[in-house]
Chains A and B, each alone.
Chain A
Amino acid sequence: MVTEEEIEQVAKLMKIDVHDHKEFVEKVHDMINYFDILDSAGVEDEEITMKDLPLSSLREDKHVPFEDKLIEKLNNYKGSYVRAPKMV
């Protein structure tokens, strides 16, 4: 059984700060409890299948010129530098 404290801790680690904290935690708690149904699926011995993606199917790693100057779409930039909020 998942505790509400564990959910609160995850929310804190994910830097999610919501106003009606309690309601969120309760709903997420209900959702996670529903996932307990997975325990009765009997899949413990099942292999997880993965799809191989050969390197040859990836596109060539080369520069593709972009016609627009993306930096000009920003509100805060100087020359070729982006001005981001200062963080301490």
Chain B
Amino acid sequence: MNLKISALEYVEEVKNGNVSAEDFVSATIDRIKDVDERLHAFLQVNSKAVEQARQVDKKIKSGEKVGACFGMPISIKDNICIKHSKTTCASKMLENFTAPYDATVISKLKQQDAVFVGKANMDEFAMGLTTEFSAYGPSRNPWNTDYVPGGSSGGSAVSVSAFQCVASLGSDTGGSVRNPASFCSTVGYKPTYGLISRYGLISYANSIEQIGPVTRTVKDTAFLLNILSGLDANDNTTIDNGNQDYLSEIDSGIEGKKIGIIQEMMGEGIDPAVLSATNDAVSKLEGLGATCESVSIDMVKYSVAAYYTITATEAGSNLARYDNLRYGYDFPVEGFEFNSYISKARSKFGPEVIRRMILGGFVPSSGHAGKYFLKSLKVKSKLTKEVNEAFKKYDYLVAPTVPILPFKIGEKIDDPVALFLVDINTVMSNLTGIPSISVPFATSNGLPIGMQLLAKHNDDKSLLKAARALETTVKLPEVPI
């Protein structure tokens, strides 16, 4: 069984009767059993997946209408609710939480006959960019298991990269889909804010986070976007995309387009291999008929500080619900003194979550809000203006997804400020709401490098065309696991 096919190839194979959904899902579960001890991409594996795939085969045989996914095995980041399934956010706080309802993205995928093979590992409450902050242990990079797979949707990217599923859903608050996609050599997509419903995504920083697909190809991302995008009455931040077909005209190329190379994302601290790959990407984009030139977006320098300030503030508020009265784990019901009760409840949070809660209490507090939180909102406004100004001149922007190569597990875990800087190229699209995509582009010493393309607000269809064009210029080695 060839598990290395793309989502679109899978659909064709099952549609044409060359392979059954049951056989493919069964082989996928075997693959998970075979490699996940080394990779730890999954927190739970769905024991009913093969049976669910069998039901899809029955529908196909009986001539019933079958959804567009045809039993496709998909993994889901563990902060997205699947009804009657554990959803832990990789936290001890939600160790035994079973979701009572489906997230909108899950309902949509179920309607299209997707099969969920399992819940993917992540940094606790999506706070981190290495998956090392999972309370259940880190995921490992399939390109070299001594290295981090990126995060926070590390399990999602690992599972797609290591053929433990065909596609995955992650969530991206500051790069959490694109960063692991870059580190594991998969496609990772952060859509325009509001394009995909967040209903059923456990909140971290509502004003900027988005659910996004992780796939093997750009076309697979377009395929999933067709299923997942659109208005949702349960999330009033969703936008009307006019039922766009993201797959149509995806091969139409970028001839005559103008592309800005963001200077602030290629400056101090960039790995020479990443810089060289970016220059190569620019040459290839020019070879496809685009014109590339440097552009400066001054506020990028302040974007990481603004991002952490805003997200910590929102997280501080969102995490208040984990008080063991509304959400949390079971406590004995004997008497507690109020303060000690809350402290005891919160002691199950991991170190990064606690750090961000303290930050989230500090930066918007009386006497400090003007210096930190309000100033961050101003940086966000000015950054948005600068980005909108750049898009008056350019159709797309380009920069490496992450300025450095994947690093070893444990290498940066004790230095939060060093970790901050890994985010510098990805937070801009979250703060401004624009779409961005990481496309696998190169490898250096066996470690992947992803290239990031960005487009203006709600120009997702055009962005996917550019990503597809870049993808056609790349030939990468196969993942060595």
In the docked arrangement, what's the CA distance between A53 and B238, Å?
11
Q: Flag if B339 contacts A15 (CB, 8 Å).
A: yes
Q: Mark A1-36, 1 if CB is under 8 A from B, else 0.
A: 010001100110111111000001001101110110
Out of A2, A37, A48, A58, name the residue touching B236 (CB < 8 Å). Answer: A58
Interface pair B363/A35, CB less than 8 Å apart: yes
Could you mark each residue 309-327 of chain B with 1 if its beta carbon is under 8 Å from any beta carbon of chain A, else 0? 1000000100000001100
Are B305 and A35 interface neighbours, CB within 8 A? yes
Cβ contact within 8 Å between B336 and A24: no
Contact, CB under 8 Å: A84 / B325 = yes
Distance (Å) between the CB of B122 and the closest chain A CB?
Answer: 21
> Judging by beta carbons under 8 Å apart, are A87 and B377 in contact?
no
B residues in contact with A46, CB < 8 Å = 378-379, 381-382
**Residues in A neighbouring B233, C-beta threshold 8 A:** 59
Chain B residues, CB < 8 A from A58: 236
Complex interface bits, A73-88 against B, C-beta within 8 A gives 1, otherwise 0: 1011000000111111
A43–B376 Cα gap in the complex (Å)? 9
Whether the pair A31, B355 counts as a contact (CB closer than 8 A) is: yes
Chain B residues contacting A87 (CB-CB under 8 Å) are: 335-338, 341
Q: A31-B416, A35-B309, A68-B100 are in contact. Are A88 and B337 (CB under 8 A)?
A: yes
Q: Is the CB of A35 within 8 A of B372?
A: yes
**Contact residues of A between 39 and 79, Cβ < 8 Å to B:** 39-41, 43-44, 46-49, 53, 57-59, 66, 68, 70, 73, 75-76
A42: min CB distance to chain B, Å = 9
What residues of B have a CB within 8 angstroms of the CB of A13 in the complex?
A: 361
CA distance A52 to B93 in the complex (A): 35
Give every chain A residue within 8 A of B372 (Cβ-Cβ). Answer: 32, 35, 38
A14 to B313, CA, bound (A): 13
Among the listed stretches B60-68, B140-148, B346-354, B434-442, which one makes contact with chain A, having 4 or more residues with CB under 8 Å of it?
B346-354
Q: Bits for B131-168, please: 1 = Cβ < 8 Å to A, else 0.
A: 00000000000000000000000000000000000000
A28 to chain B, nearest CB (A): 5
Q: Does B333 belong to the interface (CB within 8 Å)? A: yes
Task: Decide yes or no: A48 and B342 within 8 Å by CB, A31-B308, A83-B333 being known contacts.
Answer: no
Interface SS, B side: helix
> Of A11, A30, A88, which contacts B361 at CB under 8 A?
A11
* A32/B359 in contact, CB under 8 A: yes
Q: Point out which of B101, B332, B339, B361 has the most chain A C-beta atoms below 10 A from its C-beta.
A: B361
The reply to whether B362 and A18 form a contact with Cβ atoms under 8 Å apart is: no
Find out whether the CB atom of B309 lies under 8 angstroms from the CB atom of A28.
Answer: no
Please count the residue pairs between chain A and chain B whose beta carbons lie under 8 angstroms apart in the complex: 141
- Which of A30, A38, A86 makes the CB contact (< 8 A) with B305? A38
A16 to chain B, nearest CB (A): 6
* Interface check B98, CB cutoff 8 A: yes
Candidates B100, B335, B351, B355; contact of A86 at CB < 8 Å = B335
Judging by beta carbons under 8 Å apart, are A88 and B371 in contact?
no
How far does the alpha carbon of A53 sit from the alpha carbon of B227 in the complex, in Å?
Answer: 26
**Smallest beta-carbon distance A48→chain B, Å:** 5
Tell me how far the C-beta of A84 lies from the nearest C-beta in chain B, rounded to whole angstroms: 5
CB within 8 A of B381: which of A7, A49, A70? A49
Among the listed A10, A15, A70, A75, which residue makes an inter-chain contact with B343, where contact means beta carbons less than 8 Å apart? A15
- Distance in Å from the Cβ of B236 to the closest Cβ of chain A? 5
State how many angstroms separate the Cβ of B80 from the closest Cβ of chain A: 19
Task: List, in ascending order, chain A residues with CB within 8 A of B306's CB.
Answer: 38
Distance in Å: Cβ of B443 to nearest Cβ of chain A = 31
Q: Which residue of B lies closest to A49 (CB)?
A: B381
CB distance from B6 to the nearest CB of A (A): 36
Tell me which of B100, B309, B384 contacts A38 (CB under 8 A): B309
B299 and A28 contact, CB distance less than 8 A: no
Which residues of chain B come closer than 8 Å to A35, judged between CB atoms? Answer: 305, 308-309, 363, 372
A47 and B381 contacting across the interface, CB-CB below 8 Å: yes
Whether B336 pairs with A48 at a CB distance below 8 angstroms is no
**Does the CB pair A85–B361 fall under 8 Å?**
no
A residues adjacent to B (C-beta < 8 A)? 2, 6-7, 10-11, 13-18, 24, 27-28, 30-32, 34-35, 37-41, 43-44, 46-49, 53, 57-59, 66, 68, 70, 73, 75-76, 83-88
Q: List 9 A-B contacts (CB under 8 A).
A: A24-B354, A28-B362, A39-B375, A41-B382, A43-B379, A43-B382, A47-B378, A48-B381, A85-B336
For the complex with contacts A17-B346, A85-B335, 10 further pairs of A-B residues with Cβ separation under 8 Å are: A10-B361, A17-B347, A32-B359, A39-B375, A43-B382, A48-B381, A73-B98, A85-B331, A85-B341, A88-B335
Question: Top 3 A-B pairs ranked by shortest CB distance?
Answer: A17-B343, A43-B378, A46-B378
